[in-house]
Amino acid sequence: MTSDESKNHDRQHHDRQPRDRQRDDRQPRDRQGDDRPRHDRRTSGPRDSGPHHHDRRGSGPRDHDRRGPRQPRPPRADLPRTLAWEVLRDVELEDAYANLLLPGKLARTRLTGPDAALATELTYGTLRGIGLYDAIITVAAGRPAADIDPPVRAAMRMGAHQLLNMRVADHAAVSETVGVVKAHHDARAGGFVNAVLRRISERTREEWLDTVTADVDPTRELEIETSHPAWIIRALRQALVAHGRDAGELRAVLDADNAPAKVCLSVLPGLADRADVADRVGTPTPLSPLGVHLDHGAPLDVPEVREGTARVQDEGSQLVALALTRPEAPAGAWLDLCAGPGGKTAVLGAVAAGTGDRVIAVDTSDHRADLVEDSTRALSEVVEVFAADGREFGTDHAEQFTRVLVDVPCSGLGALRRRPEARWRRTPKDVNTLGPIQRELLAAAISAAMPGGVIAYTTCSPHHVETLLVVEELAAAESSAVEMLDAAQVLAEVTGRPAEEFASAPVAGGRCAQLWPDVHGTDGMFLALMRKK
């Protein structure tokens, strides 16, 4: 889980009574301390493209003396590009997240089919390529891209993506992008955008790469070509080695980050039929027994998604949640210590419903807890949701749970293909800041587990500082309390694939597991399993 998007673990004091899912008379909550990214607050859809102009031509000649000369028609912009530009602009100006903004815009405007696909590719493709596009814009504009007005720069990036990486005619890429700027930002800036995009259109992507990487060192060349900050490139190279892979496979990981992620559904066992969903809308995933890759349509077109018996969830997230349910453990309550937004909680709840157990889900804010409640609305008899600091909740409820999942806030370096903007926001300092929180949460999870209980520590990052280092330190500090399990072998049992496909480094007599986007087609999820003695 990424910390910006999903977790703020500043200690907060919350009422820990179970949340009433049926309450309709709730007063507006105090949003102070809510760590949500700022959303698009326009509730009436995208800005109007301009006033509607009716054809005033009659059957006779115009009376120009009476009506005066016709005024020029205001510029109009097509809707897919407008929506994509609005998301890119808000990502820049408001630190918004595209995966939270774009679906709402598509739903409000009822954009579907090829138009929705175009808006989606323009948004995510542009965000993935920012490093390269900014280097090109700097040359084409004759000034650093960083000095250009952010909304204008967002339009230039979007235009560059169309010109260099999409099958869009040059004239359409330029004129339609300029139209967005004129209609929705600043008509005077349209000329600047037009000039820059026309210069970009004069060369191919390969020719521009040669230009912007001339006379730079190999690291900077890789940074530009793959649109990854240098510190992330170094971190991923170190992660490969730490988890037992060859550093020479780095380029494959970076390229996988820049490939569009398939939309994956998690079909909750006992609530919906995976084979039926796959027959109607997609293809069964190769690893998760719950997953379906959506081949056509939108997720909300699927009845099970609308009903809450299936949801959008990366295959890797499904796998680590399922892994917690496989080792033997006593009967009793399960705990999801960092539950928001609730995807893994839903998987745990569906499995627990079949075994007669129940799940307690905890997250720090009311907003995050609301998301968990929505994700588990089809499991309200099994899942209870609390708003509380996981570190306090775990220690206050010592030895009360048979299975504990702690999906800690992290840098999100394993999910860059789905959250491409994160690569431009994170810094090495963030990793260091999150370290103490990760250790405290794992310690709380160990405390909450009863003897014989199983703990799963997961992150959506392969960074060794957030994964192996945390587990090694806690396994050593808690050596009298826990024993490490073979997480790779458990994933092998879940997937039916060899354990070596998932194996990471050995830790304290056990073995961790690491998923990779280039190898498994999932987010880069890390998993460690341990048992309370």
Amino acid at 473: E
Flag whether pLDDT at 47 surpasses 80. no
pLDDT by residue (tens digit) across 186-195?
A: 999 999 999 9
With a CB cutoff of 8 Å and minimum separation 6, the contacts of 85 are: 122, 151, 154, 155, 158, 177, 180, 181, 184
pLDDT by residue (tens digit) across 253-290?
A: 999 999 999 999 999 999 999 999 999 999 999 999 99
Strands 310-312 and 264-267: antiparallel
Q: Look at residue 2 in the predicted model and tell me its pLDDT.
A: 63
Alpha helices in 248-400 (DSSP H): 250-257, 274-281, 303-307, 315-324, 343-355, 366-375, 390-396
Rounded distance, CA 437 to CA 19, Å?
25
Rounded distance, CA 312 to CA 291, Å?
9
Q: Look at residue 159 in the predicted model and tell me its pLDDT.
A: 98
pLDDT by residue (tens digit) across 365-411?
A: 999 999 999 999 999 999 999 999 999 999 999 999 999 999 999 99
As annotated, the active-site residues are 460
pLDDT by residue (tens digit) across 125-175?
A: 999 999 999 999 999 999 999 999 999 999 999 999 999 999 999 999 999
* Mean pLDDT confidence for 299-312: 95
Q: Look at residue 28 in the predicted model and tell me its pLDDT.
A: 34
Q: Residues of the chain with pLDDT > 70: what percent?
A: 86
Mean pLDDT score across all residues of the chain = 88
Three-state DSSP state, 51: coil
Q: Look at residue 298 in the predicted model and tell me its pLDDT.
A: 85
Band of residue 437 on the pLDDT scale cut at 50, 70, 90 = very high
Band of residue 297 on the pLDDT scale cut at 50, 70, 90 = confident
Rounded distance, CA 313 to CA 266, Å?
6
| First-to-final CA distance of the chain | 28
Q: Look at residue 46 in the predicted model and tell me its pLDDT.
A: 33
At which residue do the structure tokens 């995050």 appear? 368
Treating both helix axes as pointing N-terminal to C-terminal, what angle do 315-324 and 343-355 enclose, rounded to 10 degrees? 40
- Give the DSSP H/E element, type plus range, for residue 505: strand 503-507
Sheet with 310-312, strands from edge to edge, namely: 282-284, 291-294, 264-267, 310-312
211-241 in b/e burial notation, b at 16+ Cβ within 10 A? ebbeeeeeeeebbbbbbbbeebbebbbbbbe
Rounded distance, CA 382 to CA 370, Å?
16
Flag whether pLDDT at 13 surpasses 70. no
Q: Look at residue 336 in the predicted model and tell me its pLDDT.
A: 98
Q: Which of 267, 455, 442 is nearest to 347 (CA)?
A: 267
Flag whether pLDDT at 312 surpasses 90. yes
Flag whether pLDDT at 73 surpasses 60. no
Flag whether pLDDT at 23 surpasses 80. no
pLDDT by residue (tens digit) across 478-506?
A: 999 999 999 999 999 999 999 999 999 99
| DSSP string computed for 57-75 | --SS---HHHH-SPPPPPP
Q: Which residues pair with 527 in a beta bridge?
A: 458, 513
Alpha helices in 290-388 (DSSP H): 303-307, 315-324, 343-355, 366-375
Q: Look at residue 1 in the predicted model and tell me its pLDDT.
A: 64
Write down all domains in the chain, each with its CATH number in brackets. 79-212 (1.10.940.10), 314-532 (3.40.50.150)
pTM, rounded to two decimals: 0.85
Q: Look at residue 77 in the predicted model and tell me its pLDDT.
A: 61
Three-state DSSP state, 523: coil
